[in-house]
């Protein structure tokens, strides 16, 4: 398939572009480089043998997007969105304008150009505070605790409504849990600008000595070691989930929802210990007050993805930490 990949120079997008190329598909990358670098495209080429076609473009530029989409595509995989929770609280208009209005702009172009297979980068944040564990796809949508999460809920609703109005469309909503790690080549990985917002890149920068210590938000949760438990998934496994969704659901009308996680949780301190082992570096930390909106535990029921997509993760926490450190310790 020829696949338009929005945000394809980003962390998850770039790994998915690699997975698509290795599976024999032809991804065409679109990215405005607001939180990524053009050098990623060259590095993807080093991994796969040839760099994908790349267009520096914003999904809100409808004229340019229409011209590109008119060249003919079988599907669109949509990653282009802002993703920092704290920043979304400070800049809600920017997040809604980029994430929601940007997606609506993209969908308008896809409708006009006849692209009917759509894979969406969603999030487990749509479940809100879990009423039970593990989380299943038939659980009700929760209340978001920040504009980033709310934008994902809003986009899922927009996509469901578009599919109802266009019943030949296939819409895949992939609800990620906690993507971490990097490609085993150490050529691509998570490269946040400024202070990292997510746990593993922060731990990685502490291990490297760029940050002095990790702040662990909450040490008094009702968990075995008192720290929060999350379902961490290797980004390469996550990328494979997108290929499985694309190949399994393209041409099958409807809205298809799948959790992408490992199906088990690890605590913050478990991750810290595993990272110390992988890097050989100490990770100093201090436990501070809980952070508003955080939940004690979160992990996925992934049986639906296994049965319907034939997909399951292959990498464990040690693999995630080892590959993250390989990327972090490589000269960028």
Active site residues: 148
Question: Distance between CA atoms of 135 and 259, rounded to whole angstroms?
Answer: 8
Q: Which residues of 272-301 are buried (b: 16+ CB within 10 A; e: fewer)?
A: bbbbeebbebebebebeeeeeeebbbbbbb
Vertex 152: Cα angle to 319 and 68 (nearest 5): 90
Vertex 318: Cα angle to 315 and 324 (nearest 5): 90
Which helix (H) or strand (E) segment holds residue 179: the answer is strand 178-180
Which is it for the CA torsion 305, 311, 316, 322, positive or negative? negative
């Amino acid at each position: 398939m020829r696949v338009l990949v929005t945000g394809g120079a980003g962390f998850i997008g770039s790994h998915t572009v690699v997975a698509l190329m290795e599976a024999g598909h032809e991804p065409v990358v679109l990215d405005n480089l607001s939180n990524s670098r053009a050098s990623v495209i060259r590095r993807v080429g080093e991994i796969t043998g040839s760099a994908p076609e790349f267009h520096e473009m914003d999904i809100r530029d409808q004229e340019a997007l229409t011209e590109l989409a008119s060249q003919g595509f079988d599907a669109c995989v949509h990653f282009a969105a802002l993703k920092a929770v704290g920043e979304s609280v400070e800049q809600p208009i920017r997040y809604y304008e980029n994430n929601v209005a940007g997606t609506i702009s993209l969908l308008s172009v896809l409708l006009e150009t006849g692209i009917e297979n759509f894979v969406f980068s969603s999030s487990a944040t749509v479940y809100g505070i879990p009423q039970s564990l593990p989380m299943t796809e038939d659980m009700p949508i929760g209340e978001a605790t920040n504009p980033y999460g709310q934008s994902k809920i809003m986009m899922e609703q927009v996509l469901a409504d578009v599919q109802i109005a266009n019943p030949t469309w296939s819409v895949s909503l992939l609800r990620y849990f906690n993507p971490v790690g990097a490609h085993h080549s150490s050529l691509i990985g998570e490269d946040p600008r400024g202070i990292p917002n997510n746990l593993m890149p922060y731990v990685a920068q502490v291990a490297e000595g760029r940050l002095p210590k990790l702040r662990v938000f909450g040490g008094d949760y009702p968990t075995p070691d008192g720290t929060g438990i999350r379902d961490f998934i290797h980004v390469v496994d996550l990328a494979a989930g997108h290929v499985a969704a694309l190949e399994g659901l393209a041409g099958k009308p409807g809205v298809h929802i799948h959790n992408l996680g490992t199906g088990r949780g690890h605590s913050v301190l478990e991750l810290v210990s595993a990272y110390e082992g992988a890097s050989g570096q100490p990770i100093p930390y201090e436990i501070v007050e809980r952070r508003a909106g955080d939940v004690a535990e979160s992990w996925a029921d992934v049986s639906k993805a296994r049965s319907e997509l034939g997909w399951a993760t292959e990498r464990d926490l040690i693999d995630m930490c080892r590959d993250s450190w390989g990327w972090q310790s490589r000269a960028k």
